[in-house]
Amino acid sequence: MVDVGSKPDQHRIARAAGKITLQPGTLQLINENRMKKGDVLSAAEIAGIQAAKQTSRLIPLCHNIPLTRILVEASVEEDGVGVTSEVRCVGRTGVEMEALTAVSVALLTVYDMCKAVDKTMQIGGIRLLEKIKADTGTPGASEPIG
């Protein structure tokens, strides 16, 4: 692990996104909450939150960070389900991995819940949208990605 002991505590925020493409019939089942495994969007959001909290256990050499906020939103789009996450902490290292893990596991949850009815699903576009860090007590400067 990288030594971050000499770094100051800062407010840190990371936002990530990704998507899973689905057949129109699958999207209709999700919209009507008729999937056999239950509410796909809610399950994906909860799975993403749980995953962000477990990132340091999943990814070698990743710091265990005390997170202050995790927001995961899954929504039906024209050709699939989009997932976004926002993770916050006050700490010495960023929360990019937590935000990316949240999106990845949320999308995998959609896949798992829909695999019985859709054999064409594709997960993609998982990316970091933004990371922000600021000294505690002062406004932060955004570092857009891409």
Residue 90 lies in a domain: yes
Q: Is residue 146 situated within a structural domain?
A: no
Looking up residue 90, the CATH number of its domain turns out to be 3.30.70.640
Residues 113-144: pLDDT tens digits? 999 999 999 999 999 999 999 887 654 455 55
Distance (Å, whole) CA 29 – CA 17: 23
Catalytic residues: 112
23 occurs within a structural domain:
yes
Find the domain containing 87 and state its range: 17-135
Residue 144 has what DSSP assignment? E
Distance CA 64, CA 94 (A): 11
pLDDT over 90 at 78, yes or no:
yes
Measuring CA to CA, how many Å separate 48 from each of 2, 4, 10, 43, 60?
25, 26, 24, 9, 19
How close are the terminal C-alpha atoms of the chain, in Å?
Answer: 26
pTM for the predicted model, two decimal places: 0.91
Would 121 be classed as within a structural domain? yes
Tally of domains in the chain: 1
